[in-house]
Homo-oligomer: A and B are copies of this chain.
Amino acid sequence: MGQQKTAPENGTRESERRRTILRAAIDVFARKGYHGCRIADVAKEAGVAYGLVYHYFKNKDELLETVFETGWSGFIARARAVAESEGPLVEKVHRIADVAFEAYRVDPRAVKVLILEIARSPAGARINRQTAFVDVIRLSAQMFTRAKEAGELRPDVDPLLASALLFGSIEMGLTAFVVGLADARDTAMLERAKAQIADSFLHGVLLSPAKEEAPQLQDEAPLKREKAAPRARAPKRG
């Protein structure tokens, strides 16, 4: 975007302050929502003077926009890498789910903001939001198109829609955690959810008669359990 702007990110010291503020913004946005918070809140959270926020960011919008770009660009880059890589579709789908859930594991707040404040919302800002959003869908739609040509997909499946469904599943799966429907504490659960999303998407949820190829069919352990006996440690994606 336009340089000559607000943020001199050349050095490293200055950036530190800037990052502090950005971090605070993410946390506050996650807690109270973009519209529900004041710049003052962000400043306070960052332990910084009100005015300084405006020293580093042109305005409130730019703040959100930056949060968006920071978080989203990382995600989309990884997603693109997967989508454009070689290999069987099954694997790619799993890896995309990996990317999303890993992002959540690393920084749930940021993901929350991305999901709750940015992904939707027709509103205001010039932000690409929708554009960006649409981009991923298109991106993975291409992946599905190629997979279809390779005969990996059922012939009656539309790539674009399949793409929407995959991300819809992932997003809603994450939302379940974000919203507290499922307990986000337990890493094992996240791991299970991730696997299940990919599997369900690929194989469906039905108990179909023939299922020789379905991968991990360990019997279910409930998604939301009491206090989680200290058992399964997540495989840590290795």
Contacts and interface: CB of A to CB of B under 8 A. Distances in A.
A52 B127 CA distance: 35
Nearest to A134: B181
A91 interface: no
Contacts of A89: 206
A200 B157 contact: yes
A173 B181 contact: no
Interface string A123-143: 110000010011001000000
B167 A205 contact: no
A66 interface: no
A228 interface: no
Interface in A198-238: 199-214, 216-220, 222-224
Interface stretch (A14-22, A53-61, A114-122): A114-122
Contact of A172 (B171, B179, B223): B171
A78 interface: no
A27 to B, nearest CB: 13
B181 A217 contact: no
Max count, chain B CB within 10 A of own CB: residue among A112, A167, A176: A176
B213 A208 contact: yes
Contacts of A35: 35, 123-124
A197 interface: yes
A160 interface: yes
Contacts of A201: 165, 200, 204-205
Given A33-B124, A153-B205, 9 more contacts: A115-B120, A120-B175, A121-B121, A153-B207, A154-B203, A160-B182, A161-B176, A165-B169, A168-B175
Closest 7 CB pairs of A and B: A168-B172, A210-B210, A204-B204, A33-B123, A203-B204, A168-B168, A36-B123
Interface of A: 30-36, 89-90, 112, 115-117, 119-124, 130, 133-134, 137, 144, 151-158, 160-162, 164-165, 167-173, 175-176, 179, 181-182, 192-193, 196-197, 199-214, 216-220, 222-224
